[in-house]
Structure 1
Amino acid sequence: MAKSNKKKLSTDERSIALSAVRRLKNAAPKQSTPKPQQARATAPKFADLPGFKEIGLQKAAAELLNIDNPFFRAHEGRAGATTQIDGQTYLNFSSYDYLGLNGHPKVQAAAKAAVDHYGISASASRVVAGERVIHTELEERIAHLHGVDSSIAFVSGHATNVSTIGQLMQPDDLIVHDSYIHNSIVTGAKLSGAVRQSFQHNDFDALESILELRAHKHQRTLIVVEGVYSMDGDYPDLPRLIEIKKKFGAWLMVDEAHSIGVLGKTGRGIAEHFQVDARDVDIWMGTFSKTLAGCGGYIAGCHNLIEYLKFTASGFVFSVGIAPPIAAAVCQAIRTMRDEPSRVEAAQENGRYFLQQAQAAGLDTGVSQGCAVVPMMIGDSLKATVLSDRLLKRGLNVLPIIHPAVPEKSARLRFFITSEHTKDQIDLAIKLIKEELRSYENEPVSLQQLMSA
């Protein structure tokens, strides 16, 4: 069984950690910014930025509780159903590699061949000198995967949403999105300057009410949802959304970062799952870093949309083109997903099995539908962090998701289920979670109690 290398705090070290926690919790509010007529003697401090104090408090609390930082854990090789950390093997549920294609021999061979042929970097923006033949092949395969006219590839999934929404929408437009939407959508909406409003998760009556009230006041309206929600593992009613967007003359954008390879009989996403015409969705977004074993993102849709973005989206025009080895690897990953349908079947079966076993064990899986992502709802951020640490000590790597990534009291352990996991591994994970939850509930950890000790 894996063991932690972290040493227990000495009495002096514990005292120092306690002092740090008390100091940070009781820190006086920062002075207001100087009045315009006052000269600034020194530059502002980065430590005064919003959220910096909270980071320090979390670090000090972790030291006090003798907890390893669960974030930035360095894996020593490919992270699949198992992984190596600090020379030890762990059962791993913290990888997006849903179909196990990241280590597939054909995908690796495609990337190596592209290095030999193209080198490593595109070396320039594609608009000027960075265009390569492999980019055309990649975008054609993405368009075919979605069943639409064309696509455009960006070097970052997050930047794909930021650049696309920031470019398409204007200050007099309206963006309405699910309340569980990814940060990149919100950031893009803020960049655009458009009016933004969220609706309660998967509540399409609420969406209609918003559109009834506001859509007619704006030149353009964009509705944004995810194909599979990355924190919760459920998906929206796409046919209903298409009806609503047609009723109000809105654009519909679906972020398929976590649904390609996961939904649909052959892994082609939520349109295949519901058997709807993909052209009824105006904007398809996806990433290469999950199922498709690469890095970056894309937009797929009609010719006019893609042509517009290729000449105006700042994250594309002013950014280096996607690295040719990545493009080649993604192309091969798409081919392999088509040629080896058993991988999609295994991922879907494992997701259902994990969800069923977790629920049978009395664990709270939130609204998950077993689509690759299954959260264990914990509620308290400290509790989630402690449980993650204890599970790591027992050989199970799963990360806590805490505020501000999720709302307060919605902290969770987030499990990614892949085609590579076995039922024995899933059963073991459920067993360990139950045991550690029971142990914690018998002896809860309270930072306040430790501080008053």
Structure 2
Amino acid sequence: VAARAGGEPAGSAPAQVPAGPVVPTPSDVPASSVGPGEDAVSIVLEEVSRTGVFPLADLGEDMTLVAGLGFDSLMLQELAVNIGRRAPGFRSEDLFAPGLTVGGLIALLDPDRPRTAAPGRPPSPRARAADWGTATASVDDFPEVALFEERLASITAGGAEFPYFRVHEGTIRDTTVIGDRSYLSFGSYNYLGISGHPAVNEAVHRAVERYGTSVSASRALSGERELTIRLERALAGFLGVGDCLTLVSGHATNVTAIGHLVGAEDLVLHDALAHDSILQGCALSGAARRPFAHNDSGDLEHLLRINRSRFRRVLVVVEGAYSMDGDLVDLPAVIELKKRYGALLMVDEAHSIGTVGEHGRGVGEFFGVDRSDVDLWMGTLSKSFASCGGYLGGSARMVRWLRHTLPGFVYSVGLTPANAAAALAATELIAAEPHRVRALRRNAELFLGLAAAAGLPTGSSADTPIVPVVLGDSARTLRVADRLFARGVVADPIFHPAVEEGLSRLRFFLTSEHREDDVRRAVAVLAEEVAAAARL
């Protein structure tokens, strides 16, 4: 996280106090209080060693943190937090003084300790190649690479075509063109058919002509563009929240948001089917993490009851619509638990915004909840909004704080003018043309009803445009997907590790553009091929 995506070297201004949070210390605390059984020397040397990744034996009191050991501002902040946990009352701002040495840091914790010359320390033994495995020195030799290649080969071992990374030759709506052949497509997130809409394309053209193809730096440095300001206001109005912040990647939005909201003193409770971006955010944060059984508010309540008092903050993370199963979160139940146990709540609406609710305003609209009952509404711009990126919505005060402190925003380039223009035009279209959401809902209900009538296993899918057909066996799933493709129907085969072993499936994403006859034909062809595969 110290590297800055905008191209600026991390630690370019190491002596400055970072914008993020530091350990709070009341002004009337005269000195730190070292914990029982610990001394200032041990605390400082151990934490400098851990944060700076230096062998403990190589550290001396005369070494400077910045010039000598290479600490940048983020490393200093991490060091301050870690020392503050072990020495309550530590004045963290003192740590950012230019030229501070390890010995000077020890003196900040224990001012009465007499300064002694640093003892002579033997140099660390010279590392030898025999001390590590040769497979760790080249990515090509990683065992994970060999395992990946074995799995890749097994996918097509039965003679089926490789089902991924096909080249599409135009906009994907209800149909797509691959290799000059037209296919009925159920593999796109273009839920409302807005990607490729003339109004969206025209808005993009105007934006590129006026602003170019990139904003070229972070918004804090290069300034704002009217398009992005208008987009965030439109999204806030669409969601019914105080303010919104847009970022360049949906996946990175979850990673940086969770990594920023919680830390090592905190707990994240997430649905067992949480997206990878949520899990990566948990890993970045350093918080403890526990999954609860999918959509099981009883299990969530149990984890909150036994754990809430043990942590500073508890963040509950759920998704509006789960993209593997096609079901909705029981949002009212989660909100009730959030309030009862004083937890924070984040809702990832990547697949529910634009698709769920009377006007496509997501699970908040679907369940009629008070928007302020959710601390953080997250969503992506790459699906219903026909663009690319992510957003975070909530109270104006919280968003203002995020705008100045969120690493994935402050240290990243802003949305391109083209993406901002596309998302803004899409937001306006969704609001102006409510028939798109109604058509999507009709098509999803038709597909699900026909699949159920044909005896196809669709699991818990309901009230979303995502319908999985769970076939269980990976080879069987791939065989059915291959036969559908041969008959002109595109559907995604999903295997382990994306889903649990034995739960391989085909996923069908409905759009507002699908015609009734095409939906009926797709389900009929699917039922025939599933039955044929079962006989083999």
Partner of 1:322: 415
Could you tell me how far 1:63 is from its partner in structure 2? 4.5
The answer to whether the aligner puts 1:107 opposite 2:200 as a matched pair is yes
The answer to whether the aligner puts 1:357 opposite 2:444 as a matched pair is no
Q: Give, in whole Å, the separation in 2 of the partners of 1:293 and 1:40.
A: 47
The answer to whether the aligner puts 1:45 opposite 2:146 as a matched pair is no
SS in 1 for 2:345: strand
Q: Give, in whole Å, the separation in 2 of the partners of 1:85 and 1:35.
A: 53
**After the TM superposition, which residues 138-217 of structure 1 pair with which residues of structure 2 at under 5 Å, given as runs?**
138-217=231-310
Could you tell me how far 1:235 is from its partner in structure 2? 0.5
Q: Give, in whole Å, the separation in 2 of the partners of 1:404 and 1:200.
A: 18
Partner of 2:355: 262
Could you tell me how far 1:36 is from its partner in structure 2? 8.3
1:294-319 Cα shifts (integer Å, max 9, x gaps): 00000000123212222222211111
The answer to whether the aligner puts 1:116 opposite 2:215 as a matched pair is no
The answer to whether the aligner puts 1:400 opposite 2:493 as a matched pair is yes
The answer to whether the aligner puts 1:378 opposite 2:444 as a matched pair is no
Which piece of structure 1 moves more, 129-138 or 287-296? 129-138
Could you tell me how far 1:415 is from its partner in structure 2? 0.5
C-alpha RMSD of the superposition: 1.6
Which piece of structure 1 moves more, 293-302 or 41-50? 41-50
Structure 2 unaligned segments of length 5 or more: list them. 1-126
Q: Give, in whole Å, the separation in 2 of the partners of 1:109 and 1:441.
A: 49
Partner of 2:398: 305
1:343-380 Cα shifts (integer Å, max 9, x gaps): 00000111111101000000000110041110000112
Whether the 8 Å contact between 1:125 and 1:131 is mirrored in structure 2 is no
The verdict on how the C-alpha distance between 1:292 and 1:426 changes in structure 2, with shifts beyond 3 A counting, is same
Could you tell me how far 1:53 is from its partner in structure 2? 2.7
Which of 214, 223, 228 is the matching residue for 2:316?
223
The answer to whether the aligner puts 1:76 opposite 2:172 as a matched pair is no
Partner AA of 2:308 in structure 1 = A
Could you tell me how far 1:54 is from its partner in structure 2? 3.1
Partner of 2:368: 275
The verdict on how the C-alpha distance between 1:246 and 1:50 changes in structure 2, with shifts beyond 3 A counting, is farther
Partner of 1:13: none
Tell me: higher relative CO, structure 1 or 2? Use CA pairs within 8 A at least 6 residues apart.
1
SS in 2 for 1:175: strand
Which of 336, 339, 345 is the matching residue for 1:246?
339
SS in 2 for 1:284: strand
The answer to whether the aligner puts 1:415 opposite 2:488 as a matched pair is no
Q: Give, in whole Å, the separation in 2 of the partners of 1:370 and 1:58.
A: 34
1:416-445 Cα shifts (integer Å, max 9, x gaps): 0110011111111111111111111111xx
Structure 1 unaligned segments of length 5 or more: list them. 1-33, 444-453
1:98-147 Cα shifts (integer Å, max 9, x gaps): 11000211111111111111111111111100521111111111111111
Q: Give, in whole Å, the separation in 1 of the partners of 2:338 and 2:374.
A: 9
Q: Give, in whole Å, the separation in 1 of the partners of 2:212 and 2:533.
A: 52
Q: Give, in whole Å, the separation in 2 of the partners of 1:62 and 1:252.
A: 39
Could you tell me how far 1:331 is from its partner in structure 2? 0.8
SS in 1 for 2:147: helix
Name the % identity. 45
SS in 2 for 1:214: helix
Q: Give, in whole Å, the separation in 2 of the partners of 1:340 and 1:270.
A: 19
Task: Flag the structure with larger Rg.
Answer: 2
Partner of 1:127: 220
The runs of 4+ residues in structure 1 deviating greater than 6 Å are 34-37, 39-43
Q: Give, in whole Å, the separation in 1 of the partners of 2:484 and 2:179.
A: 16
Whether the 8 Å contact between 1:354 and 1:370 is mirrored in structure 2 is no
